[in-house]
């Protein structure tokens, strides 16, 4: 048995002993290392982590262990309040081998800011990797509804990756919803982000998104991916000009460019998944 799997079993046993059937979560130790624009968080004990949580920023300022405000908990996989926050409810499940919730809530006075996007990765040996895996990385506002932000599931044993323009809570789950249902939700979410842009910025993004949605409906996945790449490229080019591009701990600005880039990235992942594995 690997060290990672052993730690996972020990931590899960501790949670069950602490209160089986209860909704209470159990805090885990975290150790944060900062190097340039990357924060690496060991969760569950130095040297033998249950998981690593890696945040890679496009362009961060004031990044430190204290300004990041990261914490981790083992949660009860049967907690009704948590299940109600998941998309698809019974079709979206936490694996008992990794009942882990990661929260990133930078303190308002900590000084953390970043431009455009941050790449979030949960790396764990507690779950097995398979091609076409149904594992997904979800993100939610604090105590809010979770949504799928996955843009890659990679081996090693599992690396669940996603891009975001903000924070704050993350889960790795098994998502058994049909890919078409997931795509519908992602298209609707991104369309909502675009609707918040100025009247001069909306038309180009709407045209690309319409093209992507029509291409998916026609089974033309290459065209759909091309249109989503165009959305991401345009958002990057317009960042700081036509689109607001900053996230900061004071929560007094909107990161339009980052959220649109992230929305296009996770849509692209689901289109490619539909192409390769079907519904």
Nearest to 103 by CA among 7, 204, 25, 209: 25
Cβ neighbours around 237 below 10 Å, total:
12
pLDDT over 50 (residue 12): no
**ω into residue 157 within 30 of 0, thus cis?**
yes
Spatial contact of 253 and 244, defined as CB atoms under 8 Å apart: yes
Report long-range pairs for 39-45 (Cβ below 8 Å, ≥24 apart): 39/63, 39/65, 39/68, 39/70, 41/70, 41/72, 41/102, 43/72, 43/100, 43/102, 44/7, 44/11, 44/72, 45/7
The pLDDT of residue 24 is 63
The pLDDT of residue 5 is 45
Averaged pLDDT, 12-25: 46
pLDDT over 90 (residue 244): yes
pLDDT over 50 (residue 8): no
pLDDT over 70 (residue 89): yes
Question: Please, what's the b/e burial string for 245-256 (b: 16 or more CB within 10 A of its CB; e: otherwise)?
Answer: bbbbbeeeebbb
pLDDT over 60 (residue 18): no
pLDDT over 70 (residue 4): no
37 token code pair = 């624009």
pLDDT over 50 (residue 14): no
User: Is residue 8 helix, strand or coil?
Assistant: helix
pLDDT over 70 (residue 157): yes
The domains located in the chain, with CATH, are 3-177 (2.60.220), 180-277 (no CATH)
- Decide which of 73 and 5 is more confident: 73
| Four-CA torsion 230, 55, 57, 153, nearest 10 degrees | -20
Distance in angstroms (rounded) separating the CA atoms of residues 241 and 258: 13
The pLDDT of residue 7 is 43
Distance in angstroms (rounded) separating the CA atoms of residues 123 and 140: 19
pLDDT band at 49 (very low <50, low <70, confident <90, very high): confident
pLDDT over 80 (residue 10): no
pLDDT over 70 (residue 215): yes
The pLDDT of residue 53 is 98
pLDDT over 90 (residue 38): yes
Average pLDDT, the chain: 92
Task: State the residue for tokens 């799997």.
Answer: 5
Which sign does the torsion angle of CA 73, 36, 141, 4 carry? negative
- Share above pLDDT 90 across residues of the chain, in percent, rounded to a whole number: 87
The number of C-alpha atoms within 13 Å of 65 and in the hemisphere containing its C-beta is 8
Task: State the residue for tokens 């914490």.
Answer: 71
Averaged pLDDT, 172-179: 97
Give pTM, 2 decimals.
0.91
Q: How many residues does the chain have?
A: 279
- Share above pLDDT 70 across residues of the chain, in percent, rounded to a whole number: 91
Which sign does the torsion angle of CA 62, 63, 65, 71 carry? positive
pLDDT band at 270 (very low <50, low <70, confident <90, very high): very high
- Neighbouring residues of 242: CB distance < 8 A, sequence distance ≥ 6: 197, 198, 200, 201
Strand segments (E) across the chain: 26-28, 30-35, 38-43, 51-61, 70-74, 92-93, 100-104, 113-124, 135-140, 147-148, 150-155, 158-164, 169-175, 246-248
pLDDT band at 88 (very low <50, low <70, confident <90, very high): confident
């Amino acid at each position: 048995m690997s060290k990672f799997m052993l730690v996972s079993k020990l931590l899960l046993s501790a949670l069950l002993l602490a209160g089986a059937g209860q909704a209470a979560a159990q805090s885990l130790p975290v150790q944060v290392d900062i190097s340039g624009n990357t924060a690496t968080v060991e969760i569950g004990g130095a040297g033998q982590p249950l998981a690593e949580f890696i945040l890679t920023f496009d362009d961060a300022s004031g990044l430190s262990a204290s300004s990041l405000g990261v914490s981790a908990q083992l949660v009860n996989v049967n907690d009704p309040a948590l299940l109600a926050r998941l998309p698809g409810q019974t079709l979206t499940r936490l694996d008992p081998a990794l009942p882990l919730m990661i929260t990133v809530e930078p303190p308002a006075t900590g000084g953390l800011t970043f431009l455009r996007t941050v790449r979030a990765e949960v790396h764990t040996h507690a779950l097995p990797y398979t091609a076409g895996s149904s594992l997904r990385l979800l993100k939610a506002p604090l105590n809010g509804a979770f949504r799928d932000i996955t843009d890659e599931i990679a081996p090693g044993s599992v690396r669940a990756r996603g891009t975001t323009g903000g924070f704050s809570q993350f889960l790795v789950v098994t998502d058994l919803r049909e890919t078409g249902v997931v795509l519908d939700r992602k298209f609707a979410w991104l369309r909502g982000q675009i609707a918040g842009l100025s009247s001069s910025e909306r038309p180009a993004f709407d045209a690309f998104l319409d093209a992507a949605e029509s291409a998916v409906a026609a089974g033309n996945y290459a065209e759909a991916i091309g249109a989503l790449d165009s959305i991401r490229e345009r958002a990057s080019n317009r960042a700081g000009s036509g689109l607001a591009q900053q996230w900061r701990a004071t929560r007094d600005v909107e990161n339009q460019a980052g959220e649109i880039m992230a929305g296009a990235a996770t849509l692209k992942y689901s289109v490619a998944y539909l192409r390769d594995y079907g519904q």
